[in-house]
Each structure stands twice: as C-alpha cells, then as structure tokens.
Chain A
Amino acid sequence: MKQMTETQLSQLEQDLNAIRDEVIADLGERDAQNIRRMIRLHRLLEAGGRVMMPFGFIPPVFVAATATLGIAKILENMEIGHNVMHGQYDWMNDPALHSQTYEWDTACTGDSWRRTHNYEHHTYTNIIGKDRDYGYAVLRLSDDEPWKPWHSLQFINYILLSVFFQWGVGLHELETEKLQRREIRLREKLPFLKEFARKGGRQAFKDYVFFPLVTFPVAPIVLAGNIGANLIRNLWSSTVIFCGHFTEDAETFSEEECKGESKGHWYLRQLTGSSNFTGGRWLHVLSGHLSYQVEHHVFPDLPAHRYPEISGKVQAVCEKHGIHYNTGSFAKQYGTVLKRILRHSLPERLAGSAIRA
C-alpha cells in the first residue's frame, strides 16, 4: 500500500472533504428531479415490459419485452435501489426514498444488503479476511488466499455466480465459508434465512408464478421472459460489480495495516481499492454510476449522478498526492478481471510461469 505520512493523509482528508462539502451544499431541486426521472423511467419500463410479455409468442416482441423488463430491473437495482439505500436521497425527506426502509426488486432483502454492503463492504473494502465481497467466498482472487485444488475450476463458480447473481447476493450473509469451518452455527443464521425465504419467495412468486398464471394461456412464454429478464440483470450487475474491485490495479489490504485507521487512511484505501470504467452517458446510468466506483467509495452517500461532475476534482486530488487513479475502458477493465480470475485459479508459482510462457 502506498506509504503516506500522517500529515499527508490529513491533507488528503481535507482535500476530499472539501469536494464533498461543496456537493452537499448544492443538493436541491436538480438532484430530486434526477432521481424522480429515473423512477418514472423505471415504472414505464417495468409496466411496458410486463404488458408486452404475454404477446411474446411473437419472437421480436419476446425479445423486446424481456430486454425492457431486464433493463427495468437493472435500473431499479443499480441506479435507484442501491443509491437510495446508501442514503444518497435521505435529505429529500421522502419516505419512499428513505435508505433504511427502501425495499428493492431482487431476492436480497434491503436489511441484509444494508448490513453486508453499506456497513461491511464499504467499511472494510478490499481488506482480505474482512471484506467478504472480495471473491464472494467462491473465488480466489489474490495470492493472499492459499490455493486449493478446487480453485482450478473456479471459472465454473464465476459463471454460476453470475447467472444466479440475485440469489448469490441474497444468500451472501449466510457466510457459508464460516459455517463450513464451524466458526458459526446454522442456528445463528436462522433469523436471516427466514427473512431471505420471505423475500426470495416473494420475488419468485411475482416473476415465476403470479405473472405467468395471470396470463394463463401464454404462461410458459411469460415465465421464460421473466427468467430472461432476471438473467439479464444478473449478468450485467455481476459484471459491473466485478469491475469495481477486481481489476488489475485494484489493491488489496491486510487487517494489520488498517488497524486504527485514520479517515485519511480510509480515503486512501477507498481510492486505491476501487476502479472505474469509461463509457457513454447511458452506460453510466445503467451501471448505477458504479462506473465511478472510486468516487462512489470515497463518497457513498452523495447522489450518484454527481460522480461524473466531481470526477475531475477527485482525479486532481489523486495527482496532487501521487495516488494512482484506476480507470480504463469497460472492455479493458473487464478483461483484467477475467485475467485475475483465471490467474488465481492456479497456485502462485504456476500462475507466474503460465503467464511468462
């Protein structure tokens, strides 16, 4: 990890706080309009997708309906849900947009997400052993983790995780690796499992039972379309999320080096543990602005549509302090993610020679 003195870290903290304060002072009508516009778009896309779906016996309509519903779910999960739950819009005082009560269109409960993502992931970002998002316990992504033979087939895990991402995220809090190591007992997880069953059941009922049944003659088509829409969302969101912390230059950290961390040190870790990707405006919106993962990790509770606006200032602060600002094209960043998954499928010395070969 880049070594900075306490004075330098304190200056870094001040520089970044100044950017945040400026945005906070400016929040108002424009931000409210933005999120409300996204929500209107979501409602239109979901309603449109579901209305078209029964007519999916006509192939082009099936494609359009599935894509529309898939994009609706992507928008709701990433641009709306994830951002609202971070508290980005709590200042609006709208009970429908309150971070602690928002419930989103995916199998994971809002409460579980708030615990594992807002608290654990954002506090312990990329700290091996503490940030369970790093590899999701089914992938070996750094040499800090000892290699086991099953890792050589971890690409299958990657595919399965991506295809069933909403269920993976929903069950993330189960901490299966700790259950396996007998560090915790299943009984402790029963309240969580109950919550998960209720939410997961509700989502499954909605997409796989209710909407197909309500259009009985074309039920299989609606079922297939809804599965497709969820699949689209799963594949897209897992890809975007993996690009956030698993690219080549994204650093990992040990527990010791982060003990008793100052705010400046926390900022440094967020900057170097996250990575951005570039693209057009709609790529950013569809990624819930997680394309600005660096800005998001440094300021998780600023409205995400502000990240492009402050990106230049954040880059300037990085340059001032000699900190690497991790960005690249979507294709390039994703390529390094795939490389990381493949490389750590093999033990360190083999991986080294495989790459040299």
Chain B
Amino acid sequence: MLAKQPQSRALHWLGKQLFNRNDPAAFFDPLLERINPMWIRAYTPARVEQIIQETADTRTLVLKPSRRWSGFRAGQHVTICVDVNGVRRHRTFSLSSSPMFWQQQGRVTLTIKRLPGGRVTNWIHEELDTGSVIGLGEAFGDFLVPEPAQPVLFIAGGSGITPVLSQLETMAGTDYRAPVTLLYFVRTADDVIARKKLQALSARYSALSLHIITTHEGESPRYLCDADLDSIPGLKSRQVYLCGPRGLMDLARDLVNQRGVDDTAIHSTYFSAPQADLGDEALGGQVRFAGSDAEASSQGDATLLDIAEATGLSPRHGCRMGICHQCSCRKTSGTVINRLTGQASGPGEENIQICISVPRGPVSLDL
C-alpha cells in the first residue's frame, strides 16, 4: 500500500530529520485528510464516485484513483484498504473495468459481492457511501489476456466474472482476433452480474460466444458437465481461464484436462471462500518462519516464541507475558489463540505477540 514516490534523496533525508519517519511526506496527512482526503500521501487514495447495485448481493464501485496510481492490465486485482470501526482492513478484488476506461476516463470499477459474515464486504455494502475515499494498492496478478491473440475459453462462476469482464471489454476494444467463449455459471437468473454489459459485448464483439447457465433454476442443480465442452470448437488449442468458487474451478480443470488441455494452458485466479470456523480443533500445527526460511511443527499449547526458540531462532522479546509488546511481529497467515484471553485471531495478516500466541493449524510468520 505504499505510494511510491520518486523524490529527491536530499529532500527525503531532510524529511526524515524533521519528522522522524520513513515516509516524511505523510506527516501532514492528519491535517490534509480533513481538507481533502485525496491529498493523503501514506497510501494512494481513490474516491468512490458511484455505486451501482448489480444484483441483490453484488454492487459495483466506480472509483476515481489519484493520478499517481500506476494503472493495470486486464484481469489483474488490487488490494484496497478501508477503516472499519477504527481498524484498517485490507481486501483484494479484481478490477472489473478495462484499462482503456482508466486511460480515457480516469476511472476504475470494482464489483464486490457481499459475503455472509464477511466483515469488510458487509461494511462496503452497508456503510460505504459515494464521496468516501479508500486506499487503492498497485495492481498485480498474472491472470492476463494472451498476447498475441489466441483462442480463449473462460469458465466463470458467480462473482468470478469480475476479471473476465475487464478482459472481455479489452478484447472487444482492441479487436482481439481469435474466438472467445464464455461459460458463465450463476445460481439463478437474478444472480447474473452485468447482464446488460455482457449482452452488449456479445452484440458488438463478433468473436465472443456467450453462454449463461443457471445452476439452481431447474428441479435439480445443473452444474458444469462434459457436454458443455462439446460445443466449443478447437478446445485443445485454447487458453483456458478459470475464475469462481473452488468447486467449479476444480471441476472445470478436471474436465478440460480430460479433453487434452495441458495445465500450462490453464490460468486461474482464486477467490477464497470465507474461512470455515475451525471450532474446537486441536492446538498446535505447522509453523513457517518465512524470514528465516525455517519450519517447525508443534503440538499442544507451546507458544510461538517457545517454538521459534526451540527451532534455533532468537526472536526479540521482553517480559514473555504479553505486557510489553517487544515480541510483537507479523503473522502472514493462519490462526493463533491468545493464551491470556483464549481468543482466536483472524486467519489473515495481522500483528501478534508471539509470547502469548499458540498456533491452531498451520501458521506463517514474518520472522
């Protein structure tokens, strides 16, 4: 989320002397933010200009990023940051608009589905208003349109259509000369995201063959099956792009492999489902110390500090009882239990005090 600024080194040095920070430009953010949030330096701001309700549980945010945002390629995603109830939270979403829209109009869109129990997606649907400013990271990801043009098959499910929308717009806009087929799976007709846009694309882009399949409208569920692939000419020579719920992607990969499409021609981008409640799973697990390239497995209620020391590392620590925070470091993934309170952490990236944290399942630390 760092806004990369090419600054004169002398100015940067002076800023450090005067403001005691590595990002001296952000010293006045607290004041600038009150005047115009788009003047924030600590991250790249983007203003929410419009909110479009796509379906009952999906909405599109039309954003105007600060001009210093570096742009993106069709199919990539961004990490946004928002303050939810005082806490800064980061989430990653695919850009659903095309790079040409950014170049010509200076706008991008994110199409976000509300997840049951999802802290941020629910906040976005309930609290985020037009006019608000959120943080927009640099785009990343290698779910990209083939260059030069090759035949493509998209298999998308639900909100997995979002990066595909960006890619289809781009292909249509650049007159992409190769057949493109989209198999788009949704539960019911009401769940189709961007139906009008897809139909308009289908109308003006002759290479596109659009198939929208509802899985839960008939008497029994109708999922992706082998027969769906029959109608796709030249499947073996296509690049296959998968994006959607895990089940659909695994099924699609298997079917397409069986038809002779090699794994190197299959591109996926995963949207993870909300973390399952681990409930009363046993304590202990595989701990990975990413910074030291070490791993250890533990059982029972050994703390991460003890585990690290048993592995031969010597992490910085202090009181060893959860008071002084000297041992605080970054957990990049996994769940830990706080030995003092019995509370479980979230499953993602956060700071923890390793002297009072016990792993529950696999954990990865920046140590």
Q: For the complex, what is the distance from the CA of A92 to the CA of B26, rounded to whole Å?
A: 17
Q: Determine the chain B residues whose CB is within 8 A of the CB of A118 once the complex forms.
A: 318, 324-326
User: Contact at A100–B88, with CB atoms within 8 Å?
Assistant: no
* A44 and chain B: residue at smallest CB distance: B31
User: Contact at B86–A28, with CB atoms within 8 Å?
Assistant: yes
Q: Which of B8-65 contact A (CB under 8 A)?
A: 14, 16-18, 20-21, 23, 26-31, 34, 42
How many A-B residue contacts, CB cutoff 8 Å?
A: 95
Q: Determine the chain B residues whose CB is within 8 A of the CB of A256 once the complex forms.
A: none
User: Contact at B325–A301, with CB atoms within 8 Å?
Assistant: yes
User: Contact at A39–B318, with CB atoms within 8 Å?
Assistant: no
Majority DSSP secondary structure for residues of B touching A: mixed
User: Contact at A104–B20, with CB atoms within 8 Å?
Assistant: yes
| B250 within 8 Å of A (CB atoms) | no
User: Contact at A100–B20, with CB atoms within 8 Å?
Assistant: no
Residues 102-133 of chain A, each 1 if its beta carbon lies under 8 Å from chain B, else 0: 01110000000011001100110000000000
User: Contact at A301–B30, with CB atoms within 8 Å?
Assistant: no
Q: Determine the chain B residues whose CB is within 8 A of the CB of A30 once the complex forms.
A: 86
Query: In the complex, how many angstroms separate the beta carbon of B24 from the nearest chain A beta carbon?
Result: 11
* B320 and chain A: residue at smallest CB distance: A123
User: Contact at B86–A119, with CB atoms within 8 Å?
Assistant: no
Q: For the complex, what is the distance from the CA of A70 to the CA of B15, rounded to whole Å?
A: 21
Q: How large is the interface on A (under 10, 10 to 19, 20 to 34, 35 or more residues)?
A: 35 or more
A32 contacts which of B86, B318, B350 (Cβ < 8 Å)? B86
| A99 within 8 Å of B (CB atoms) | yes
* B88 and chain A: residue at smallest CB distance: A93
Residues 302-345 of chain B, each 1 if its beta carbon lies under 8 Å from chain A, else 0: 00000000000000001101011110100000000000110000
Q: Determine the chain A residues whose CB is within 8 A of the CB of B23 once the complex forms.
A: 96
A119 contacts which of B21, B318, B351 (Cβ < 8 Å)? B318
Q: Determine the chain A residues whose CB is within 8 A of the CB of B16 once the complex forms.
A: 202
Q: For the complex, what is the distance from the CA of A29 to the CA of B83, rounded to whole Å?
A: 9
| B258 within 8 Å of A (CB atoms) | no
Provided the pairs A39-B30, A105-B20, A205-B17 are in contact, do residues A123 and B328 lie with their beta carbons within 8 angstroms?
A: no
Q: For the complex, what is the distance from the CA of A107 to the CA of B266, rounded to whole Å?
A: 57
Query: In the complex, how many angstroms separate the beta carbon of A44 from the nearest chain B beta carbon?
Result: 7
Q: Determine the chain B residues whose CB is within 8 A of the CB of A33 once the complex forms.
A: 86
Given contacts A44-B31, A123-B318, 14 further A-B contacts (CB under 8 A): A21-B341, A24-B341, A29-B86, A30-B86, A32-B83, A32-B86, A90-B325, A91-B86, A96-B42, A118-B324, A123-B324, A210-B14, A210-B18, A300-B323
Q: Nearest 3 A-B pairs (CB), nearest first?
A: A32-B86, A119-B318, A87-B325
Q: Measuring CB to CB, which residues of chain A are less than 8 angstroms from any residue of chain B?
A: 17, 21, 24, 27-33, 36, 39-40, 43-44, 47, 86-87, 90-96, 98-100, 103-105, 114-115, 118-119, 122-123, 202, 205-206, 210, 263, 266, 300-301
Can you name 24 A-B residue pairings with CB atoms under 8 Å?
A17-B340, A28-B87, A29-B86, A31-B86, A32-B83, A40-B30, A43-B28, A43-B30, A87-B328, A90-B328, A93-B87, A93-B351, A94-B88, A96-B21, A99-B325, A118-B318, A118-B325, A119-B318, A119-B324, A122-B319, A123-B319, A210-B18, A263-B321, A301-B325
